[in-house]
Amino acid sequence: MESLARFVIRHRLLVVLGWLVLMVAGGSTAGTVTDRLTFDFSLPGQPGYEAEVDLIETFGASTADTLVPVLTVPEGSTVADRSADVAGVFDAVRAAVPQARVVDLASTGDARFVTDDGRSTFALVQGPLPEGFGPGLETTLQPAFEQAAAAAGMDTGLTSYVLLSAGGETEGPSVLVETLFGAVGALAVLVFVFASFLALVPLLIAAVSILTTFLLVLGLTYLTDVSFVVQFLIALVGLGVAIDYSLLLVSRWREERAHGRGNDEAVVIATRTAGHAVLASGVTVAISLLALVVVPVPFLRSMGLGGMLIPLVSVAVVLTLLPALLSKIGPRVDWPRIRHDAVAARGWTAWARLVVRRRWIAAGVALVVLGLVIAPVFGLKIGQANTGSLARSGPSFDALQTLEDGGVGSGVLTPIELLVPDGQAGTAAETAAGVDGVRMAVLGGSRNGTTVVDVVPVGETVDSASNEVVDDVRTAVEAATGGEVGVAGTGAVVQDYFRAVYDNFPYVLGLIALITFVLLVRTFRSLLLPIKAVLLNLISLAAVFGAVTYFWQEGHGSDALFGVSATGALTFWLPVIIFAFLFGLSMDYEVFILARMREEYDDTGSTSAAVVTGLGRTGRLVTSAALILFFSFAALASSPGVDIKVLGTALGVGILIDATLVRALLVPALVSLLGKWNWWLPAGLARVLRVEPSPLHDERPLVVPVEERPLAQA
């Protein structure tokens, strides 16, 4: 590290120009990167996905979002009275969207397409697989539907799960406003930390890191498909880790200058000490994200590959560009120097001493509070949010209300599609219709010897609890037809994700834990500290999911703060994204704190002194970094979509829980309790990992500086 720092200082102009070129190139190609990202949620080899592929290839229609147009005749008449007009309206829909599959009362003759009051009827419309999240088939269907209905003197409505997910008529701030909110919050925290123009430097480092990462991801898109989710990882995680790493190195540089070091020498020492922690943290986060490649889901694998680049680029920028800038302009931008760093923060030092003196109480309080926060996680359901939490107003909500008031359940939004040979279609439909929890089963069309049977459940099939009807239908129909049946639809997709992601997730956790443990053993030269770090990270994540379950799934507070009812489940892709974000960011904080504690222990031989000085020096940095990320995630939570609100609040609350309860209370308490055993690394293991061993030594007493003792003891 020292050699790297001296090399950068000697060639700082070339270093700055090199990163400037990469930043400009990244900025100019950012739009191209976004266009090349994919919306591939495929699950190769999973039965629901393979049935979906067959449905698309045979009928040209996908179950990604089933549109449900609702037609209501005037008072005093019924659908039966106006059957010809009703059929004409839906024929107009077929003509407007010839690429779609339309199933309605006229095409099936099934009276269960009509509400209990006889005045409303609906159709199931499935179009080609969407290529993104923009407007889809509804932009063509709705005008034609409304025009034909108006000509017949009827009222219309259009609903679907995706339309409800958009939040009805709810509008949120633009991406630009959200970004500005996060940036202003970050700048405010940085100004508080540095109290000088130096606060702008971490933001500059973050900008270079993010834009350079976009440039590298552009190259990656020519080698493999990269999920659109990666762009959000780059923006949010890139902002977080780049500022975190910058905070650590800049703060150490200021500390060394306050101790009388020359500017370049302060840069070298900061890079050697804080830079070592930055490198260890970045590599740990990168390898942890890369572990996602073991999950047999393409978009998660691409997240692992793309996400790996974020911390690696941030580390490279912080260890090269930042020392070059500090060497050249650091003292000039560090003005006015209102805050001085010659000694550790008094507040954090006093807090650390209190934790050391009352270590058992501190550990007990932290564990009890975390236990209470974690408790709801045992009721966590994974699937999709129920329709009751998606929208409370707007045309899509009103259309669904019309159906529900007429006795048609929300299962109409998540039909189950069965693919069977033509000769067994009648048997399959009759059998499926007799399954408990099914409203109706109708023949939806035949092509190339295959018939699709549309099975409409009473309730929506969006999570593990409501998905039982999918298994019941599959079992009953396969028994009646004597062979395997293709089952597609939302419920089948949820089941696929359970099998592909969550059945393999323990292996991912195990791999990440093992890799993280090995890397941290090398970083801390300790056996117990890495074990504790991994366990506390998992505890912190459990607390986040417990809080999300309590707040969103069970609805304790979501209605009051966001006007959203209990979701009933956590959307199946959210836990993986939350894990990918928070595991790395939480490990950053752990490495920052423990690396400084290790350094102080090596200097003093006292665990108590290591805890007091280590937390005194890093506590403000960690909480400041957490606040910066909290502002970014709070802006994300202001978006109109329910899933994005859940993601934003989960990440924001997760960062705060980790930086306060875990890192500021539980970590120092446990380090203090474990004493000299924290620092033990057996010689045999040290040889295997090619690091210096750390034998056990007797503890030295904590020495309180004279100026910090009470007056009576001075």
Helix axis angle for 359-374 and 346-357, nearest 10°, is 90
The pLDDT value recorded for residue 642 is 78
Residues 589 and 673 in one domain: yes
Who has greater pLDDT, 508 or 369?
Answer: 369
The secondary structure of 78-142 as a DSSP string is -TTTTHHHHHHHHHHHHHH-TTSEEE-HHHH--GGGB-TTSSEEE-EEE-SPPSSSS--THHHHH
Asked if residue 61 is part of any domain, the answer here is no
| Counted domains in the chain | 4
Q: What is the residue whose two structure tokens read 């609040």?
A: 649
Mean pLDDT of 381-403: 86
Task: Specify whether 376 is located in the same domain as 504.
Answer: yes
pLDDT class for 630, splitting at 50, 70, 90?
A: confident
pLDDT at 133 over 60: yes
Domain-embedded: residue 398: no
pLDDT over 70 percentage in the chain? 94
At 713, is the pLDDT very low, low, confident or very high (cuts 50, 70, 90)?
very low
For residue 666, being part of any structural domain is answered with yes
Q: What share of the chain is helix, strand, coil (3-state, %, to 5)?
A: 70, 10, 25
Q: Which two tokens stand for residue 609?
A: 């002194």
**The pLDDT value given to residue 700:** 78
143-157, 642-656, 677-691: least confidently modelled range: 642-656
β-pairing verdict for 416-421 and 450-457: antiparallel
pLDDT on residue 387: 82
Q: What is the DSSP secondary structure assignment for residue 345, as one 8-state letter?
A: -
> What 3-state class would DSSP assign to 647?
helix
274 versus 644: the higher-pLDDT residue is 274
Do 601 and 574 have their domain in common?
Answer: yes
In terms of pLDDT, which residue wins out, 213 or 338? 213
Q: What are the pLDDT digits (tens) for 244-278?
A: 899 889 999 999 998 889 999 999 999 999 999 89
Asked whether residue 252 is domain-assigned, the answer is yes
pLDDT of 711 higher than 50: no
**Of 359 and 701, the one with more pLDDT:** 359
Residue 44 has pLDDT above 70, yes or no: yes
| Averaged pLDDT, 137-165 | 93
Q: Which two tokens stand for residue 156?
A: 């219309």
pLDDT at 204: 93
pLDDT for 132 equals 67
Q: With contact defined as beta carbons under 8 Å apart, do 105 and 440 qualify?
A: no
What pLDDT score was predicted for residue 666?
Answer: 96
pLDDT at 638 over 60: yes
> Residue 176 — very low, low, confident or very high, per pLDDT cuts 50/70/90?
low
Res 346: pLDDT: 87
Query: What distance in Å separates the CA atoms of residue 179 and residue 194, rounded to the nearest whole number?
Result: 22
**DSSP output for 426-445:** HHHHHHHHTSTTEEEEEEEE
Question: With 90 as the cut, is the pLDDT of residue 482 above it?
Answer: no
Angle at alpha carbon of residue 404, lines to 401 and 406, rounded to 5°: 110
The pLDDT of residue 292? 79
Domain endpoint, select from 136, 159, 182? 159
Computed over every residue of the chain, the mean pLDDT equals 88
Is the Cα torsion angle 22, 25, 28, 30 positive or negative in sign? negative
pLDDT digits (tens, 9 = 90+) for 576-606: 878 877 887 788 888 889 999 999 999 999 9
Same domain as 385, residue 319: no
Residue 98, amino acid: P
Answer whether residue 159 shows pLDDT above 60: yes
Burial category of 77 from C-beta neighbours within 10 Å (exposed 0-12, middle 13-18, buried 19 and up): middle
What is the domain range of residue 275?
Answer: 1-36+196-333
- Closest to 312 (Cα-Cα) out of 378, 390, 242: 242
CA distance 18 to 12: 10
For 120, the token pair is: 């409303």
Q: How far apart are CA 498 and CA 369, in angstroms?
A: 30
Whether residues 466 and 550 fall in one domain:
no
276 and 293 within one domain: yes
Q: Please list, in sequence order, all residues whose beta carbon lies within 8 angstroms of the beta carbon of residue 219, skipping any fewer than 6 positions away.
A: none
Task: Tell me what the mean pLDDT of segment 100-111 comes to.
Answer: 95
For residues 154 and 177, the model is more confident at 154
Kindly report the CATH number assigned to the domain that includes residue 308.
1.20.1640.10
At residue 147, the pLDDT reads 96
Residue 182, pLDDT score: 67
pLDDT value of position 167 = 55
94 occurs within a structural domain? yes
Cβ–Cβ < 8 Å for 420, 488: no
Give the DSSP H/E element, type plus range, for residue 281.
helix 263-290
* 62 domain residue, yes or no: no
> 640: pLDDT confidence band, cut at 50, 70 and 90?
low
Please, what sign has the CA dihedral across residues 492, 496, 497, 502? positive
Q: Bigger pLDDT: 610 or 644?
A: 610
pLDDT at 184 over 80: no
Give the pair of three-digit tokens for residue 79: 């659908």
**CATH, residue 483:** 3.30.70
Kindly list the distances between the CA atom of residue 280 and the CA atoms of 287, 366, 519, 590, 595, in Å, as whole numbers in the listed order.
11, 27, 7, 11, 9
Same domain, 241 and 289: yes
DSSP string, 131-150: SSSS--THHHHHHHHHHHHH
**What pLDDT, on the 0 to 100 scale, is given for residue 708?**
46
Is residue 712 scored above 50 in pLDDT? Answer: no
Q: Is 473 helix (H, G, I), strand (E, B) or coil?
A: helix
pLDDT of 173 > 70? The answer is no
| 350 and 238 assigned to the same domain | no
**Do 481 and 503 fall into the same domain?**
no
DSSP letters for 558-604: HHHHHS----SSEETTHHHHHHHHHHHHHHHHHHHHHHHHHHHHHHH
Vertex 430, ends 424 and 434: CA angle to 5°? Answer: 140
pLDDT the model gives residue 179:
58
In a domain, 705, yes or no: no
Same domain, 354 and 329: no
Is the per-residue pLDDT at 114 higher than 90?
A: yes
Q: Is residue 316 part of a domain?
A: yes
Sorted by sequence, the CB contacts under 8 Å of residue 230 that are 6+ apart come out as 37, 217, 302, 303, 306, 307
The conformation of residue 169, written as its DSSP 8-state character, comes to: T
CA distances from 365 to 97, 168, 605, 661, 665 (A): 62, 43, 28, 9, 9
**What is the predicted pLDDT for the residue at 335?**
84
pLDDT grade for 705, boundaries at 50, 70 and 90: low
What are the structure tokens assigned to 586, written together?
């939480």
* Residue in 576, 588, 654, 582 with CA at minimum distance from that of residue 622: 588
- Long-range Cβ contact pairs of 339-347 (< 8 A, separation 24 or more): 339/193, 339/194, 339/195, 339/196, 340/258, 341/251, 341/254, 341/255, 341/257, 341/258, 342/255, 342/258, 342/259, 344/613, 344/616, 344/617, 345/616, 345/617, 345/619, 345/620
- Residues in contact with 406: Cβ distance below 8 Å, sequence separation at least 6, in sequence order: 115, 116, 117, 119, 120
What is the band of 710 on the pLDDT scale with cuts at 50, 70, 90?
very low
**Token pair belonging to 40:** 């591939």
Residues 494 and 634 in one domain: yes
Taking phi over 0 as left and psi of -120 to 50 as alpha, with beta for the rest, 195 belongs to left
pLDDT at 296: 81
Helix (H, G, I), strand (E, B) or coil at 416: strand
CA-wise closest residue to 576 among 311, 303, 240: 303
Q: Is 381 a residue whose pLDDT tops 90? A: no
C-alpha span between 398 and 215 (Å, rounded) = 45
Percent of the chain with pLDDT strictly greater than 90: 58
- The Cα 512–Cα 152 span in angstroms is 62
Out of 66-70, 105-109, 333-337, 435-439, least confident range: 333-337
Q: Is the pLDDT of residue 662 over 70?
A: yes
Q: What's the token pair of residue 289?
A: 């994200």
Confidence at residue 714, expressed as pLDDT on a 0 to 100 scale: 32
- Which two tokens mark 542? 């459990």
pLDDT digits (tens, 9 = 90+) for 232-247: 778 777 887 888 899 8
120 and 233 in a single domain? The answer is no
